[in-house]
Amino acid sequence: MAADKKVVCKKAFGPVWVVEPHADFYQAVEAINPSDFGLQAGVFTNQLDKAMRAFNWLEVG
């Protein structure tokens, strides 16, 4: 999803869930960190080592 889309770059009122698929794990993590709204993030993977890396790298919360 383009970074300039309102749902990505503006504050939304109400429950909003942006799902953004990425082919590369590292690219996905790097796409999350620049957000101004980093309250939470979710990473869906079947590889525990990647989930733990995301836990350590993501700047949210």
The per-residue DSSP string of 1-61 comes to: --TTSHHHHS--SS--------SSHHHHHHHHTT-TT-S------S-HHHHHHHHHH----
pLDDT value at 59 more than 80: yes
Considering the domain boundaries, does residue 34 fall inside one?
yes
Considering the domain boundaries, does residue 11 fall inside one?
no
Considering the domain boundaries, does residue 10 fall inside one?
no
Domain boundaries, position 37: 18-57
Considering the domain boundaries, does residue 8 fall inside one?
no
Considering the domain boundaries, does residue 33 fall inside one?
yes
Considering the domain boundaries, does residue 50 fall inside one?
yes
Considering the domain boundaries, does residue 43 fall inside one?
yes
- Digit-coded pLDDT (tens) for 3-51: 566 655 566 666 767 777 888 888 888 887 777 766 778 888 899 999 9
Question: How many folded domains does the chain comprise?
Answer: 1
Unique residue bearing structure tokens 């957000």: 35
Q: What is the pLDDT of residue 8?
A: 58
Question: What's the pTM?
Answer: 0.58
